[in-house]
Each structure stands twice: as structure tokens, then as C-alpha cells.
Amino acid sequence: MQIGIIDTGSANLNSVKQAFARLGYAAEISSDPQILSKAERLILPGVGTAIACMQRIEHKGLIDFIVHNHTPMLGICLGMQILAKGSAEVELNSAADRIKTLGIVSGEVVKLQAEGLRLPHMGWNTVEHTDHPLFKGIKQQAYFYFDHSFALQCGSYTIGSTEYGMRFSAAVAQDNFMGVQFHPEKSGAAGEQLLRNFIEEFG
Amino acid sequence: MLAKRIIPCLDVRDGVVVKGVQFKNHEVMGSIVDLARRYAQEGADELVFYDITASSDGRRVDKSWVAKVAEVINIPFAVAGGIKSVEDARTILAYGADKISINSPALANPELITELADKFGTQCVVVGIDTYYDADTQEYLVKQYTGDVSKTVTTSWHTLDWVQEVQKRGAGEITLNMMNQDGMRKGYDLEQLKKVRAVCSVPLIASGGAGEMQHFYEAFALADADGALAASVFHKGLIHIPELKQYLKERSIEIRD
């Protein structure tokens, strides 16, 4: 099984690679569509800001490669958020109130409305899921590790949701695209099971 | 619901885990990777590694062990110690750390907090604050370069002011190291923790003084800390993480199972 990790310029690429290594799978980090197109599974990781991530994949000429891909692909954290149509996460002091993202999933990324709660939403929280194959063997209300201030709204694409001030998409699926807001690579045994499912359940 | 976090802290010096009392007299506690793996398996929610000598020696944290830690554990961890630039931070995050925690360099150059937040997102940026209660003046003051007693200085910052300042500048989490209590195992300074909580809208981690399971309960239930950090009680086996989590669950604290 060849796993490609799309180099989004995100700082956490290595932790994703190491998570697969712990499961016994070698993953290759690359921004070269030639190399990535050989992978049977693709990971779209992201940490940082939506704008920086979009600029990076645009600069590397990866937008078309991602949008028109038919390989099972898993966006993680910001990598999930950029699957949406747009994001309210603009640069500090920017005049714009939204940036356009990949538009694979029809929802919008909004600032978490967490009145009276701390932001970022950081730590272990529970996920209610729809028994999508990505969650095979994972109980309802399992804890996953989150670390974010913006979130994708719930919609028909939502396969897992979490409550933090508002209910938001913790996991989404659209055709061959999947995404998780939490960090499965840092979510203990439940996260390992989810990554294993991503590899084994979508043949 | 968002769970409260139990966070073992591993003070690293010269590639091994050490622990002192009130930031002095360090004794060796064990290998970094072995302790990291043990805590992750026991149910720790997160780990923090502090290179306690880095800033005061004018060098940055030895990074080779960061990648080794990231290889073996499947929970998040933060690295602190002498991170003075965006490049320093990028290197440590690239090795697999989830957050970088800055302390003395943030005091020397507060703009660094904003630069890191802009580059990596606020969720990556933890500011550690070494706070000291001066019993004579009854003030909470911020100390700098606490890794080496001979170089430690008291800054002009009052703790509550600095807590607000770092949030404005982009800190995504604050770890409050209450120095008077450090290593004493008599409990966190709940009065101080409550005062800081009142002005802290980002996650707040209590640090310094945990000695019994009750102290963790107090930090969560009485001071509403998001996480509680401790070192010696875990390293010396005085508190076992599975028992601690069970104890807290029985007292209706939201804890990851």
C-alpha cells in the first residue's frame, strides 16, 4: 500500500508519517503530482492558516491534482477545512472576511461560536459518528484530540460531529474525499483505528 | 464534552529527564523516550518537554530527541526551551512536536508570539509563564531565565498583566508555572490560579505543586484549569495516571477514558 502525504508546507507532516509508521505503513511526503499520483491513499494534512495552506498548494500546482483526484484522500485538521467552499480564517488585519478554498465539500468554515468557552478548542473531545466505515470499530463518543479555532459547519457530508459551543463537523465524507477536524495521528488508540480504517476499508 | 487534561512534564537537561525542587538541585529521572512512551501508554493526555537550561545557556533545545519522541507516542506533545525564532519553531514542529512553548524569549521579544501565531496558528503557540509570589510586597511577578538560578531575573511584568499581554499577541495556551509551589507537592496555588483564570480566555494549564490526587481535582473543580501539569509525582511513581483519572472521573470531572 503506497501512501502519499501531500506537502502542504504544513509544519506537522512528520507526525502524520510517523503515525503510519507505527501502523506498519511507509508514507511518502511529496508535493510532486507525478509521485503523488502513484499513491493508493492520499493524506492532505494542514496546520497553520487556511490562506497559507491554499497559497502553498496553488504555488505547487496541486489544486487541480487534488480536486480532480479519485484516490481515497483524507484531510486532517486544516487539510479538512480547505475541502470546504470557503473559510472565514483570513489573515489578521485583512480587509477580506472570507477566502475561497477547494470547494469539494459544500459547507463553509466559520469561527467557532464558543460563547463563554475557551478558544482555541484544544484538547480531547467526544465524537458522535454515523457508523461510516472510517469509524469502523470506534465507539460512539470516543475521544479524539482537537486543536483549532475555526470549524466546518454541519451538512449532508458530515459523518461525525462534536459539540463545542456549537455543533460542528468533526468528520466529513464526499465521494473519495474524507476529512477529520481532529488529529488522528495524535488521538491514541481511537486515532490509530481511524487511520487503519482509512487504509483498509476503501479498497 | 471537552476533557480536562493530565499533563506529565519532562524537564530535559543534557538529553535526560531531570527534576528539581523550586527549580534547583536537579536529579536524573530517566530516559526521555522511555518516560514518554510509559506516560502515553498509561493514559496521559499530553506531554510537555522543557529544556530547562536552553534559554539561560544561550543555546536552543537539542532537537534530535524530538523526532524520537514523535516516533513512539500517539498523543500530542509540546516542546519548550530556547525557541527564539520562527525557524527554531519550524524545525521542532517539523520533527513532530504539536506545539511550541516559549517563555524567556517571549519576555525578551514579545513580538515573537505574534510571529509564531501568524506563521503556525495560535493553536501551536503556548506561552509559559514563571510566576513568583513576593510575600513582602504581596505581588505576583514574572521571572525570566529560571533554568539557571544564577541567571534568573525578576522582570518588570506583573503576572496578570503579562497573561493579558500574551493573549493579545496571539498565545493559544498559557502554562502557569507557580514557582513558590514547584516541587513542594503541597498543591497548586489556587488563589493565584483563579486570579489568572479570570483574565485568561485561552486554555490555561496549572503547573507547580501537585502532590496528591486531590490537588488535580482542586485545579479543575475550584480554579477551572483546562489542564494540570506535574512532574515529580509521576516520575517517582507517587501518583499513577490510571488511578488519578479514575479518581477524577468519580468526582465528575470530565476525563478521557
* pLDDT tens track for A101-137: 999 999 999 999 988 899 999 999 999 999 999 999 9
The percent of residues in chain B predicted with pLDDT above 70, rounded, is 91
Helix (H) or strand (E) holding A127: strand A121-129
Q: Tell me, what CATH number does A19's domain have?
A: 3.40.50.880
**pLDDT tens column, B131-155:** 999 999 999 999 998 877 888 999 9
Chain B residue numbers with beta carbons less than 8 Å from the beta carbon of A149 are: 121-123
- How many Cβ pairs closer than 8 A exist between chain A and B? 110
Q: H or E segment at B197?
A: helix B190-198
CA distance A17 to A22: 9
Residue A21: per-residue pLDDT: 95
Task: Kindly determine whether residue A125 and residue B1, on different chains, have CB atoms separated by under 8 Å.
Answer: yes
Confidence of residue B59 (pLDDT cuts 50, 70, 90): low
A25 shares contact with chain B (CB less than 8 Å): no
Q: What is the mean pLDDT of residues A145-166?
A: 96
Question: Is the per-residue pLDDT at B18 higher than 90?
Answer: no
pLDDT of residue A131: 94
Residue B130 has pLDDT above 90, yes or no: yes
Report CA-CA distances (Å) from B175 to A25, A177, B36, B133, B182. Answer: 36, 37, 19, 16, 13
Portion of chain A with pLDDT greater than 70, in percent: 100
DSSP line for A7-65: --S-TTHHHHHHHHHHTT--EEEE--HHHHTT-SEEEE---S-HHHHHHHHHHTT-HHH
Give the mean pLDDT of B4-24: 78
CA A115 to chain centre: 25
CB of A19 within 8 Å of a chain B CB? The answer is yes
Q: So what's the pLDDT on residue B183?
A: 81
Range of the domain at B128: 5-250
Residue whose C-alpha is closest to residue A191's, from B40, B172, B35? B40
B86 has pLDDT over 90: yes
Name the band, by pLDDT with cuts 50, 70 and 90, for residue A181: very high
For the whole model, what pTM was predicted?
0.92
Q: B68-84 burial, b if ≥16 CB within 10 A, otherwise e?
A: ebbbebbbbbbbbbbbb
Q: Which residue has the higher pLDDT, B13 or A85?
A: A85
pLDDT one-digit tens code per residue, A35-46: 999 999 999 998
Mean pLDDT value across chain A: 94
Q: What is the pLDDT of residues A53-97, one digit of tens each?
A: 898 899 999 999 999 999 999 999 999 999 999 999 887 677 888
Single out the catalytic residue among A28, A115, A183, A201.
A183
Number of domains in chain A: 1
Q: How far is B68 from chain A (nearest CA, A)?
A: 10
Q: Which residues of A82-118 are buried (b: 16+ CB within 10 A; e: fewer)?
A: bbbbbbebeeeeeeeebbebbebbebbbbebebeeeb
Q: What percentage of chain A exceeds 90 in pLDDT?
A: 83
Provide the shortest C-alpha distance from residue B247 to chain A (in Å).
18
pLDDT of B82: 76
Q: Angle at the Cα of B46 (from B93 to B22), degrees rounded to 5?
A: 95
- Structure confidence at residue B23 (pLDDT): 52
Of B121, B204, B227, the CB nearest to A48: B121
Q: Give residue A71's domain range.
A: 3-200
What are the distances in angstroms from CA A121 to CA A168, A196, B16, B126, B174?
Answer: 12, 26, 32, 14, 14
DSSP label of B123: G
Q: Which residue has the higher pLDDT, B217 or A90?
A: B217
pLDDT at residue B235 greater than cutoff 90: no
Q: Which of A39, A22, A5 is nearest to A187 (CA)?
A: A22
Q: What pLDDT shows up at residue A144?
A: 98
Q: Is A154 a known active-site residue?
A: no
| Better-predicted residue by pLDDT, A56 or B212 | B212
CATH number at residue B27: 3.20.20.70
Taking residues B63-70, report their average pLDDT. 85
Judge whether A77 counts as a catalytic residue.
Answer: yes
B12 belongs to a structural domain: yes
Give catalytic status of residue B130 as yes or no. Answer: yes
In a domain, B157, yes or no: yes
Count structural domains, chain B.
Answer: 1
pLDDT over 70 at B55, yes or no: no
CB-based contact, A122 to chain B, within 8 Å: yes
Mean of per-residue pLDDT scores for chain B: 90
pLDDT of residue B26: 63
Q: Cβ distance B78 to B49 under 8 Å?
A: yes
Q: Considering only A28-32, A108-112, B22-26, B196-200, which range has the smallest mean pLDDT?
A: B22-26
CA distance B239 to A74: 39
Residue B228 has pLDDT above 70, yes or no: yes
Is B207 domain-assigned?
yes
Q: Is the pLDDT of residue B21 over 60?
A: no
**What are the residues whose beta carbons fall under 8 Å from the beta carbon of B83, sequence distance 6 or more?**
B60, B61, B89, B92, B100, B101, B102, B105
Residue A189 has pLDDT above 80, yes or no: yes
Count of CB atoms situated within 10 Å of the CB of B146: 24
**Nearest-angstrom CA–CA distance, B128 and B193:** 14
Mutation pick from A14, A141, A164, A192 vs chain B, by most beta carbons of B within 10 Å, is A14
The angle at the Cα of B154, spanning B102 to B20, to the nearest 5 degrees, equals: 65
Instruction: Please tell me the predicted confidence (pLDDT) of residue B12.
Output: 84
**Residue B140 within a domain:** yes
Asked whether the predicted pLDDT for residue B19 surpasses 80, the reply is: no
The closest alpha carbon to B227, from B177, B183, B186, belongs to: B177
Terminal C-alpha separation, chain A: 11
Position A201 scores a pLDDT of: 95
> Is pLDDT at B54 greater than 60 in this prediction?
no
